[in-house]
Amino acid sequence: MRDIVVVREVAFPREMVWGALTDSRQLGSWLMPNDFAPKMGHRFTFQTKPAPGFDGVVRCEVLELRAPERVAFTWRGGPLDTVVSFDLEEVPGGTRITLRHAGFAGVRNLVPRIVMGFGWRSLLARKLVGHLAGVDHGA
Amino acid sequence: MSRVSPDQDPFRAIADANRRRMLDHMLAGERTVGELAGLLGIAQPSVSQHMAVLRLAGLVDERPEGRRTFYAVRAAELRGVADWIAKYEAFWGERLDALEAHLAQQRQ
């Protein structure tokens, strides 16, 4: 199981990045239209295009808010019940942003097992065929 | 893009933890509803209901044998989910590009 983690260093001060993450209007201009408010427990939504299995609404709740270091909120939409967090660290010349999208456990666990399961099956089939061919040659 | 009714949507079908556990068990081999009920510790009628959702979504095949019906996973259908998560990864990369562009604009 693996979370989605994206790390990005930007040449902007941390306070400025924090503003872009926690001001509803700014958040809307680079992420999605929303009614976010920087308050613990605040429930809000992001609005995007609907897709099969997804009505286009991401339902969120602010879980953590530690200015100007960390903000985390739930991210529920389509088959997902996940958590998104941003960590901001000051680095020389700017800010390191660590985005983590966590909680794919159920879905993620299943998919590799399906792919691997089938990989194994065909591998075994090939090995068996090879083995039988070898036996045949040896005989 | 083809229209998919909610009932046939594989994403909705796997949104439920019990259905994911059923699929997980069926990956190991064919199962009957009774076997799955025992493995999951839930009532047979619930397993039957969940199985109906999985069948509608095209995620399982059924094979009657005598008085029993065996169910197995159709893996190809589920691979779409892996693609979907990969798209989310790309989504965040693009959004952070947009954030950087936004910050550059703010500074001007």
What is the complex's ipTM, to 2 decimals?
0.73
A96-129 residue pLDDT tens: 999 998 876 556 556 555 554 444 444 444 544 4
A85 and A29 share one domain: yes
- Kindly state whether residues A92 and A112 are assigned to the same domain: no
Q: Quick one: A135 and A94 in the same domain?
A: no
Q: Rounded distance, CA A23 to CA A36, Å?
A: 7
B42, B28 in Cβ contact below 8 A? no
**Residues of A within an 8 Å Cβ radius of B:** 4, 6, 8, 10, 12, 16-17, 19-20, 26, 29-31, 52-54, 78-79, 97, 99, 101, 104, 106-115, 117-118
| Edge-to-edge strand list for the sheet holding A57-66 | A4-10, A94-102, A80-91, A70-77, A57-66, A43-47
The domain total for chain B is 1
Q: Answer yes or no: do A84 and A110 share one domain.
A: no
Give me the CATH number covering residue A20. Answer: 3.30.530.20
Calculate the alpha carbon distances from B41 to A106, A136, B53, B73 in Å.
18, 47, 19, 20
Containing structural domain, residue A51: 4-103
Give the residue from chain B lying closest to A10, CA to CA.
B100
Q: Are residues A26 and A75 in the same domain?
A: yes
Q: Please, what is the average pLDDT of chain B?
A: 84
Chain A touched by B86 (CB under 8 Å): no
User: Which domain does B46 fall in, by range?
Assistant: 6-107
What is the enclosing helix (H) or strand (E) of B60?
A: strand B60-65
Number of domains in chain A: 2
Domain assignment present for residue B1? The answer is: no
The CATH number given to whatever domain includes residue B59 is 1.10.10.10
pLDDT band at B40 (very low <50, low <70, confident <90, very high): very high
Least CA distance to A29: which residue of chain B? B102
**A31·B6 Cβ contact <8 A:** no
Question: Is A126 found in the same domain as A75?
Answer: no
Co-location of A87 and A36 in the same domain = yes
Asked if A54's CB is within 8 angstroms of B96's CB, the reply is no
